[in-house]
Amino acid sequence: MLEVGGTPAASARSRQSAAGGLTVVGYSTDVALRRAAARSGARVVRRIRALHVAVLRSPPAAARVLDGLRGIRYSREPVLRHELVDPAVAPAPALGGAYEWQYAAARENLVPASVLRAASAITVAVLDTGADVSAPDLAAKTPATWSIRGNSSDVTDYQGHGTFVSSLAAGSTTNAEGVAGFGGDAKLLAVQAAAADGTMTDVDEAAAIVYAVDRGAKIVNMSFGGPVTSPTEQSAIAYAAAHGVLLVAAAGNSGQTGNQPSYPAALLQPLGSNGQGGVGLAVAASSLTGARASFSNYGSYISLAAPGENVFGALSSSSDPYHWPRQSLPGSAAGIYGYGSGTSFSSPEVAGAAALVWAANPHLTAAEVAEILEQSASGHGGWNQDTGYGILDVAAAVARAQGSPVAVPAVDLSGTRSGLRVTLSWRSPGAVSYRLSGSRDSATVQTLLASTTATSSSYRLEPGHSYSFTVTATDAYGLTVASKPYVVVLPYSAVKLDLRASSLVGRKQLTTRLQGTFNPAGKDIPRGDRKLFLESFDGHSWHRFAVASTSRTGVATWTVTLRRGSYRIRARYAGAEDLAPATSRVVTLRVR
């Protein structure tokens, strides 16, 4: 973010010295301006005709003369600006997600392709340090360019800030390279308003705003600001608002160092407004967890928040690698990329999202686009001082503009069971990996497949338990969606088994009829065709010696001949998928 320097309490002499003998005046007519220049001995070095603002080079004493002249609305020193390096620039990927994690975090990837393409009718202007138009994601847009400072189309970005911001606002989504901007196919107008070292004044800002508005920009992004404003800045903001342009500005990075309100953001969403009214959007930064980033400003002038901590973007080839660490991007054939943090990078995400909302409904006004972005954010219409109306939800905003629901991808999970084996199958459009989890009897969920491209798996289950399986799909942007649980219940009914002996015949040997009764606890469980085994005990262990199947009523019979001796006999059922094993009482027989 570019920060305003200087304090209102500075002396006129020190202010003139800092401004290099320049004075900014607001004038009523050309005649009044010429008269003021002549009376003060000043020379007009720059004019913004649309705002009736001029910059005069004059002796220090001229400032006192200008204040009292007819037709001069105000005379002020230029508000000096300089680059503020955003905190927490990270040379490594954010944990737990894709490189450009912010894309899925704001649900940008759920926007219909038709809306992304329709955004080509919208121009987003980025007022910044310039842009590296050779960066693949910017080159694909063939951006219009203009340098307010150089008065030419050369916007070479030696500082690097503007390239990163531009890639987030309007980087190409269709060139299969690098990053994807939030504006779909929106046109990019890169206006260089800062010098090579990042310094910038309110006059530069005002001139850039007027240039963007006059060239047809529908949205203007301003990732700069500071603790003071000026009549020149206020006139430029009013000019854009009067022309139906949506202004979006970074809220500031002083959340841990005094949280001083930042301008122009505090002009777009006025101090004390608590999200009501305003002429634009003041954007705070959120983190990977969805909370306000610790460095982000907060307070009554916050409109909403967007990812701004360790977000991924394109870097200028002319920028200093020390200030903008490079991050290798697997699969990338061109361009250079890296991570950055700051509300500077939250603001262009909202600006790009605004282009999609306008593309979804071209009849909206700037105020209506802003309201849709606010009301569709994660706060669901509620406002708070940390993140305003909540975290940006691009898909919800587009759906609200169209009057339709968000089409969220689903994971289809199904299964087939054969005996104690279950085979699971799953699929989700756009998924690049899956995770399969399961639990037994509502115990702790365990990961069965951590990360896989497979779409099926088979498992053997144990009878008498219930199982629940869930598949989570992850797309190329890091968005994860989970399936509905697939539940398998294997009932395990108890079985009561009885054994009786009858019809004893003979003296030296015994012919007896044994009858086993199979009685499961479940009333609907079939009793027929169940194998029951007879077992005898030899003093040490049980041995199987006969088998019979039950009738429809659950009765099995055996006729056995026993020699002289003592016998201990029992019936046993081995169990099944849905039935527990069972053993009858022991029958003792003696043959004398």
Task: Measure Cα distances from 354 to 113, 121, 392, 409 in Å.
Answer: 16, 13, 11, 23
Same domain, 290 and 207: yes
How many residues are recorded in the chain? 592
Band (409; pLDDT cuts 50, 70, 90): confident
Please report the pLDDT score of residue 41 as a whole number: 85
Residue 123: per-residue pLDDT = 98
Given 375, 402, 429, the domain boundary residue is 402
Cα dihedral 168, 170, 171, 174 in deg (nearest 10): 130
Average pLDDT over residues 496-511: 78
Question: Can you give the pLDDT at residue 98?
Answer: 78
Same domain, 107 and 169: yes
| Backbone φ, ψ for residue 555 (5° rounding) | -110, 135
Where is pLDDT greater, at 556 or 331? 556
Res 1: pLDDT = 61
**Same-domain status, 255 and 384:** yes
**Among the three residues 370, 402, 434, which one is the final residue of a domain in this structure?**
402
pLDDT at residue number 506: 58
Q: Is 152 exposed, middle or buried (0-12, 13-18, 19+ CB in 10 A)?
A: exposed
pLDDT score of 169 more than 90? yes
Please, which pLDDT band fits residue 459 given cuts at 50, 70 and 90? very high
d(CA 181, CA 172): 6
> Does one domain contain both 398 and 418?
no
Check whether residue 218 and residue 100 sit in a common domain: yes
Annotate 10-66 with DSSP letters as a single string. S-HHHHHHHTTSEEEEEES-HHHHHHHHHHHT-EEEEEEGGGTEEEEE--TTHHHHH
390 and 430 belong to one structural domain: no
The predicted pLDDT at position 420 comes to 84
In a domain, 203, yes or no: yes
Q: Which residue has the higher pLDDT, 197 or 325?
A: 325
Residues 456 and 555 in one domain: no
Rounded-to-integer distance, Cα 369 and Cα 253, Å? 25
Question: Residue 32 falls within a domain, yes or no?
Answer: yes
Give the residue from 506, 498, 510, 508 showing the smallest Cα distance to 559: 510
- 214 and 252 together in one domain: yes
pLDDT for position 86:
41
Residue 552 φ then ψ, to 5°: -60, -25
Task: Verify cis geometry, omega within 30 degrees of 0, for the bond prior to 264.
Answer: yes
Tell me the pLDDT tens digit for each residue of 44-57: 999 999 999 999 98
Judge whether 1 lies within some domain.
no
Percentage of the chain lying above the pLDDT 90 cut: 70
Q: What is the CATH number of the domain that holds 59?
A: 3.30.70.80
What is the model's pLDDT at position 564? 83
**Any domain includes 11:** no
Q: Measured between alpha carbons, how far is residue 278 from residues 115, 241, 269, 362, 423 in Å? A: 27, 10, 5, 21, 58
Higher pLDDT, 476 or 194: 194
Q: Does residue 8 lie within any of the structural domains?
A: no
Q: In terms of pLDDT, which residue wins out, 126 or 13?
A: 126
From CA 242, how far away is CA 265, in angstroms rounded? 17
Give the tens place of pLDDT for each residue, 103-148: 989 999 899 999 999 999 999 999 999 999 999 999 999 999 999 9
Mean pLDDT for 194-204 is 89
Ranges assigned E (strand) in 353-483 = 412-418, 421-427, 431-440, 446-452, 456-460, 466-475, 480-482
Judge whether residue 275 has pLDDT over 70. yes
Whether 437 maps to a domain, the answer reads yes
The CATH number of the domain holding residue 207 is 3.40.50.200
Domain that holds residue 305: 86-402
Q: What pLDDT is recorded for position 213?
A: 98
Whole-number pLDDT of residue 8 = 29
CB atoms within 10 A of CB 284: 31
Rg (CA), the chain: 38
* Residue at 541 is within a domain: yes
Q: Answer whether residue 335 shows pLDDT above 60.
A: yes
Residues 360 and 472 in one domain: no
163 sits in which H/E element: helix 161-170
Tokens of 31: 């005649």
Are residues 504 and 434 part of one domain? Answer: no
For the stretch 475-497, pLDDT in tens is 877 778 899 999 998 878 889 99
* 154, part of any domain: yes
Domain count, the chain: 4
Alpha-carbon span 518 to 352, nearest angstrom: 73
Q: Which residue, 367, 402, 437, sits at the end of a domain? A: 402
Tell me, yes or no, whether 130 and 208 share the same domain: yes
User: What CATH number is attached to the domain comprising 578?
Assistant: 2.60.40.1930
Query: Domain check: are 96 and 163 in the same one?
Result: yes
- Confidence (pLDDT) at 414: 96
Give the pLDDT band (50/70/90) at residue 449. Answer: very high
Hey, which residues are catalytic here? 128, 161, 344
pLDDT > 70 in the chain, percent = 92
* Domain CATH code at residue 428: 2.60.40.10
Distance CA 298, CA 251 (A): 8
Q: Using 50, 70 and 90 to split pLDDT, how confident is the model at 79? A: confident
Statement: residue 344 has pLDDT above 90 = yes
Q: Within a 13 Å sphere around the CA of 113, how many CA atoms are in the beta-carbon half?
A: 2
